[in-house]
Amino acid sequence: MIPALTDRALNRATLARQYLLDRTDVPVLEAIEHLGGMQSQAPLAPYVGLWSRLSAFDPAVLSELMSRRETVRTHLMRTTVHLVSARDCLDWHTLFQPRNAAAMTPNTAGLPPIDRTSLRTAAERLLRASPRTRAELGRLLAASFVGADPGALAFAAAQEVAMCQVPPRGLWGRTGPAAWALVEKWLGEAPRSTTPVSAVVLRGLGAFGPATIADLQTWSGLTRLGEVVGALSLRTFRSPAGPLLYDLPDAPRPDEDTPAPPRFLPEYDNLLLSHRDRTRFIPSPRRVPLPPGNGATMGTYLLDGTWQGTWRLRGETLDVEPFTPPADPAPLLAEASRLAAFLGGSTARLLPT
């Protein structure tokens, strides 16, 4: 008989491997790889995410990893920008490129027929010379493809060429345009084409399991994973909703009554975006907010492991906005005060519901 897992048991299992039950002291690069990369559409979001997960996180360490090109920000899972190790970028980029290219097709609407080989050659030449913003790349390409829309050309180039965003964007305490470079030039080698999809699935389970096939497809953006999952040696469980859950045999699955302390997440944190069925973290039907921001001024928070409100830094004050009044606000405010200090603020306050 296949054992069943409750939503609360699933909650604790995923929190444990996300370093959100207990902070860990693993090195920053190791943490990023363990988490399967970190959503970085808001460029500073990984700093808040790592602060909540690591016991002594220094933002300068992550900035240094980015400057040394040991981590990189690029389009991967779900066609969104993720912060990953250089190794994962090289291993994974080729797997995700076809879906990411397809997702960009609407941005190339109206583009006249052009020779894609010539476009790729021109884009690579321009990006080898210097990182470029999309606007700059499109404008320069338009000189060779007369009559084509520069914006559409830039997206068409992204369909053909493996790119990554480069600093200073994404550095702590710095800012800069979204400038793109060739992955091959930035990291010193081209993306590899030998990584099996199963390797990505195993990493996904290590970070977000136990998970259904639909969950894994939601996290990765890849499709038709049923056969891949079926070929792996995995534990199986029955989910509260019925579908089979898959997990690594030795992954942590703590008791469902394990305490879960308050934790603050940045906007776009993968914890709340990586499952088709998000009931383990979102018990009531609410849409995860996706605000435009830099990743270090607003986000969500967990109480007893579930999403119970939002936070926003206003000046030097970190405002905590609960959905319902917390039974014991002291631990929540204590954690909020620590986050405020990390972000350069001075105080935290609980707003009325």
pTM: 0.96
- Is residue 306 classed as helix, strand or coil in its secondary structure? strand
Tell me, what amino acid is at 150?
Answer: P
- Beta-bridged to residue 307, according to DSSP, are 302
What pLDDT score was predicted for residue 326? 96
Give yes or no for residue 290 having a pLDDT over 80.
no
User: Which residues are CB-contacts of 56 (< 8 A; sequence separation ≥ 6)?
Assistant: 25
What pLDDT score was predicted for residue 86? 99
Report the C-alpha gap between 43 and 175 in whole angstroms: 9
Q: Tokens at residue 264, please? A: 């603050």
**Dihedral, CA atoms, 338, 340, 344, 346, nearest 10 degrees?**
-90
State the first-to-last Cα distance of the chain, in angstroms, to the nearest integer.
45
Contact 268, 45 (CB under 8 A): yes
- Is residue 245 classed as helix, strand or coil in its secondary structure? strand
Higher-confidence position of 156 and 288: 156
- SS3 letters across 232-268: CCCEEEECCCCCEEEECCCCCCCCCCCCCCCEEEECC
Place of tokens 């001024």: 297
Give yes or no for residue 286 having a pLDDT over 90.
no
What pLDDT score was predicted for residue 284? 83
Give yes or no for residue 185 having a pLDDT over 90.
yes
Question: What is the pLDDT confidence band of residue 289, given thresholds at 50, 70 and 90?
Answer: confident
Contact 39, 270 (CB under 8 A): yes
Give the pLDDT confidence of 210-252 residue by residue, as tens digits.
999 999 999 999 999 999 999 999 999 999 999 999 999 999 9
What pLDDT score was predicted for residue 291? 73
What pLDDT score was predicted for residue 175? 87
With b for 16 or more beta-carbon neighbours within 10 A and e for fewer, the 297-326 pattern comes to bbbbbbbebbbbbbbebeeeebbbebeeeb
Report the C-alpha gap between 167 and 73 in whole angstroms: 9
Report the C-alpha gap between 129 and 144 in whole angstroms: 16
Question: What is the pLDDT confidence band of residue 184, given thresholds at 50, 70 and 90?
Answer: very high
Give the pLDDT confidence of 66-125 residue by residue, as tens digits.
999 999 999 999 999 999 999 999 999 999 999 999 999 999 988 988 899 999 999 999
Give the pLDDT confidence of 158-171 residue by residue, as tens digits.
999 999 999 999 99
Report the C-alpha gap between 279 and 223 in whole angstroms: 22
Give yes or no for residue 292 having a pLDDT over 80.
no
- Beta-bridged to residue 309, according to DSSP, are 301, 322
Residues in the chain: 353
Place of tokens 């603050």: 264
Poorest-confidence range of 61-65, 175-179, 231-235?
175-179
DSSP codes, 9-36: HHHHHHHHHTT-SS-B---HHHHHHHTT
Across the chain, mean pLDDT equals 96
